[in-house]
Each structure stands twice: as structure tokens, then as C-alpha cells.
């Protein structure tokens, strides 16, 4: 049997698990994309799902993996925060649409007692615990500060109390987690939202399908913004 031509295969959309997916679902509803029932089953072990559209499938992965999967062609389209896009800076990814969801900020934080007498403008060298070493290094390098980064994938707020570093770089929404762990923001690096991302090669090889999805989601974002 001859292989199915790539253009006849369904597009694959990579979606992050968790809060971003919850905020993305109203946009999916507006576009008319309905995943198979297993997608909403918290007990499912499936990672790939069909939808009501025969030309579109969905994969559910960790937020940090979405950009990598799209960049290397495992999915034609996806949803990723611009924090991930800034960290990996994949040339293969085009981000045509800010979805206006997943709003937070990336900030530098340190213990409250340290911040009372600390002046970030005087830093020359810092040790920082973060999930985002590339963004962190670039941020401090732009100010002439050498950053020694300790890579952690979670529980960043514990780093100062464990003696790993005095400062952290992490995403902040309400600031409640920082406060609960005796930390305070001292610098903001960037505002963060989630973007619709596209594999650049797919945009060239399947332009009609990919551009149609971009246009559909653009209209959905506008409609949701008007409703709000």
C-alpha cells in the first residue's frame, strides 16, 4: 500500500495541559473544534485525540514541549506561552496570534528581608534559580550583570530557603505563592501571554489549511475580547 500523501493527513495541533488549556477551550468552542470525549477524561492515558473535524487531530503535552514539537514538525500548529518562545527561540516557529490567555509576568524575586536593603541596580553577579536560564542570562547580560543559573523545573520558591540561590526568576500571576514563601518581586522581565504558533514549513506546504485555522482563531479572539 502506498503511503498517504502528507497533504491528505490531518493537521496536528499541540495543546498544553492545565490552566492554559482551560482558558483555550472557549476559543476552541467558538472555532467549532470539539475533541473526542476521551480528551476530557481525567483518567485517560491517551495523548493523541481525534476531533469532530476529520482534517484535525489534537495532542496533549506539557507546555514546555509544545514549542519543540511544533518546531520539529511533530505538529503543524500549537499553543505556547511567549515565555517558552523566548527561552528556546526556535527559528522554525511563527507566532502570528496573541490569544490573550494565560496572562502573567516573568519576574525576579528574592527574600523579603533581603529586598529591604538590596538595590538591583548595583548587582554585578547574581546566582539565580530558574526554569528559564536563557532568558535569565540575556536579561542580566543586557544590564552588564553576570548571571549564574541553577536550572530547576519547579518549586523555585524553595531555592532561597534551601541555600541554592538568593534570587529566582519565575512566572508570577497573583504573587500569592511568592508571599507564602517569604519572597517579593524586585524586577519584571516580561509580560507573558499564550500565542498561537505555527511550523513555518507547514505554512508553506499546507498554506490554505493553516491560514484558515489562524483566521478562525483570530476571529474567536476578537469575539471573546468583545464579550469580555
pLDDT at 3: 39
C-alpha span between 171 and 192 (Å, rounded): 8
Map grid coordinates 503543524 to a residue. 76
pLDDT digit string, tens, across residues 65-93: 999 999 999 999 999 999 999 999 999 99
CATH class of 6-102+193-227: alpha beta
Q: Where are the alpha helices (DSSP H) in 10-116?
A: 19-31, 63-71, 82-88, 112-115
C-alpha cell at position 114: 533581603
Query: What pTM value is reported for the model?
Result: 0.90
What CATH number belongs to 104-191?
3.40.190.10
pLDDT at 7: 54
C-alpha span between 213 and 129 (Å, rounded): 38
Q: Range(s) for CATH 3.40.190.10 in the chain?
A: 6-102+193-227, 104-191
Residue 92, SS3? coil
Three-class DSSP labels, 118-175: CCHHHCCEEEEEECCHHHHHHHHHCCCCEEEEEECCCCHHHHHHHCCCCEEEEEECCC
Contact indicator for 107, 189 with CB cutoff of 8 Å: yes
Q: H-helix or E-strand containing 222?
A: helix 207-227
Please state whether beta strands 11-16 and 48-50 pair in parallel, antiparallel, or not at all (unpaired): unpaired
Please state whether beta strands 77-81 and 11-16 pair in parallel, antiparallel, or not at all (unpaired): parallel
Cα 218 from chain centre: 18
C-alpha cell at position 55: 482534517
C-alpha span between 213 and 20 (Å, rounded): 19
DSSP class of 51: B
pLDDT digit string, tens, across residues 143-152: 999 999 999 9
Which residues in the chain come in under a pLDDT of 70?
1-7
C-alpha span between 55 and 47 (Å, rounded): 18
Amino acid at each position: 500500500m502506498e503511503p498517504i500523501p502528507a497533504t491528505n493527513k490531518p493537521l496536528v495541533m499541540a495543546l498544553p495541559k492545565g490552566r492554559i488549556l482551560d482558558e483555550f477551550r472557549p476559543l476552541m468552542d467558538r472555532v467549532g473544534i470539539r475533541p473526542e470525549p476521551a480528551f476530557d477524561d481525567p483518567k485517560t492515558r491517551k495523548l493523541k485525540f481525534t476531533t469532530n473535524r476529520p482534517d484535525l487531530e489534537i495532542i496533549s503535552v506539557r507546555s514546555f514541549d509544545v514549542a519543540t514539537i511544533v518546531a520539529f514538525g511533530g505538529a503543524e500548529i500549537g499553543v505556547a506561552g511567549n515565555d517558552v518562545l523566548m527561552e528556546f527561540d526556535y527559528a522554525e516557529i511563527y507566532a502570528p496570534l496573541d490569544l490573550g490567555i494565560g496572562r502573567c509576568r516573568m519576574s525576579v524575586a528574592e527574600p523579603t528581608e533581603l529586598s529591604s536593603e538590596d538595590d538591583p541596580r548595583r548587582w554585578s553577579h547574581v546566582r539565580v534559580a530558574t526554569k528559564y536560564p536563557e532568558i535569565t542570562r540575556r536579561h542580566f547580560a543586557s544590564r552588564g550583570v553576570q548571571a549564574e543559573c541553577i536550572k530547576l523545573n519547579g518549586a523555585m520558591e524553595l531555592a532561597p530557603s534551601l541555600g541554592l540561590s538568593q534570587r529566582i526568576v519565575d512566572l508570577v500571576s497573583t504573587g500569592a505563592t511568592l508571599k507564602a514563601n517569604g519572597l517579593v518581586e524586585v524586577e519584571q522581565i516580561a509580560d507573558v501571554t499564550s500565542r498561537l504558533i505555527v511550523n513555518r514549513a507547514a505554512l508553506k506546504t499546507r498554506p490554505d489549511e493553516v491560514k484558515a485555522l489562524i483566521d478562525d482563531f483570530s476571529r474567536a479572539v476578537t469575539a471573546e475580547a468583545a464579550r469580555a
